[in-house]
């Protein structure tokens, strides 16, 4: 866990100054994960659902109804699951905050020494580490310990409501793509159009996710396309088999 000193704390010159315009992408990890996961689930699950129903030989109205039910149910399920999961993470974070508050009240000297030891372990000389620890403790001891001892930075703290809302919105935005294709295309062309539209949407999602996360586009796109195509194929074949049997 890298230590990042605030502007007023003493620093050790290790190379050229970092440009103020430099930006990193790791701060996007939480919302990017939820958004990409939600949109991918919306596209794949809804397209697979409508293709499975279409493979069974159901009518167009039944296919669209199944798609709408999948969109609504999936969005609510994503929201509920994300809220519960992130709330558990938030509870753990709050417990750590309360523990640090208690330790700072009951043993401030020990906590100061602990903070100094952290900076020494990261390469600062003992004297400089003590100066940094004292400066950060005087400014905001709790924030310093949460960040540098526990890795809890404010911009990366768990936010259950935000996570639930973004996951539901992302799922719905992805699910609407195959749903529109299922509802607007005539019976004869419905299945191939859903497949093509879904693959195009998945390719775009993979490229956008890679772009936002600073990753390579081709592996991300191929990964999303491969799993999406497999899910649609399996669901369609199962739907066709069930429709034939029934």
Q: Report which secondary-structure segment, H or E, holds 163.
A: helix 160-184
For residues 120-145, average pLDDT: 86
Per-residue pLDDT of 81-115, as tens digits, reads 889 988 888 888 888 888 888 888 888 888 888 88
CB atoms within 10 A of CB 234: 13
The fraction of the chain above a pLDDT of 70, given in percent, is 83
pLDDT at 2: 42
For residues 233-240, average pLDDT: 87
Average pLDDT, the chain: 80
Which residue has 């993470």 as its token pair?
A: 89
pLDDT at 200: 92
Confidence of residue 16 (pLDDT cuts 50, 70, 90): very low
pTM of the model: 0.68
Higher pLDDT, 48 or 2: 48
Lowest mean pLDDT among 61-70, 82-91, 143-152: 143-152
Task: For the chain, give every domain's residue range.
Answer: 28-245
Higher pLDDT, 73 or 6: 73
Confidence of residue 17 (pLDDT cuts 50, 70, 90): very low
Higher pLDDT, 91 or 4: 91
Which residue has 């390579």 as its token pair?
A: 216
Q: Does 10 have pLDDT greater than 70? A: no
Lowest mean pLDDT among 29-38, 70-79, 121-130, 135-144: 29-38
For residues 171-195, average pLDDT: 90
Alpha-carbon distance 50 to 198, whole Å? 11
pLDDT at 32: 62
């Amino acid at each position: 866990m890298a230590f990042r000193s605030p502007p007023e704390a003493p620093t050790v010159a290790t190379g050229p100054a970092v440009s103020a315009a430099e930006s990193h992408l790791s701060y996007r990890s939480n919302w990017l994960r939820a958004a990409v996961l939600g949109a991918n689930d919306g596209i794949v699950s809804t397209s697979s659902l409508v293709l499975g129903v279409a493979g069974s030989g159901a009518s167009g109205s039944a296919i669209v109804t199944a798609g709408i039910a999948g969109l609504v149910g999936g969005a609510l399920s994503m929201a509920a699951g994300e809220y519960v999961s992130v709330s558990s993470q938030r509870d753990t974070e709050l417990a750590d905050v309360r523990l640090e508050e208690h330790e700072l009240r009951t043993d401030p000297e020990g906590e100061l020494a602990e903070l100094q030891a952290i900076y020494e372990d990261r390469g600062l000389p003992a004297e400089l580490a003590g100066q940094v620890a004292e400066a950060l403790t005087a400014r905001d001891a709790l924030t310093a310990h949460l960040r540098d001892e526990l890795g809890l930075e404010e911009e990366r703290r768990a936010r259950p409501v935000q996570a639930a809302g973004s996951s539901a919105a992302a799922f719905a935005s992805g699910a609407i793509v195959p749903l529109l294709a299922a509802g607007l295309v005539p019976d004869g062309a419905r299945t191939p159009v859903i497949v093509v539209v879904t693959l195009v949407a998945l390719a775009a999602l993979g490229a956008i996710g890679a772009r936002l996360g600073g990753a390579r586009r081709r592996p991300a796109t191929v990964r999303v396309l491969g799993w999406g195509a497999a899910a649609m194929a399996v669901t369609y074949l199962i739907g066709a088999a069930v429709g034939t049997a029934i």
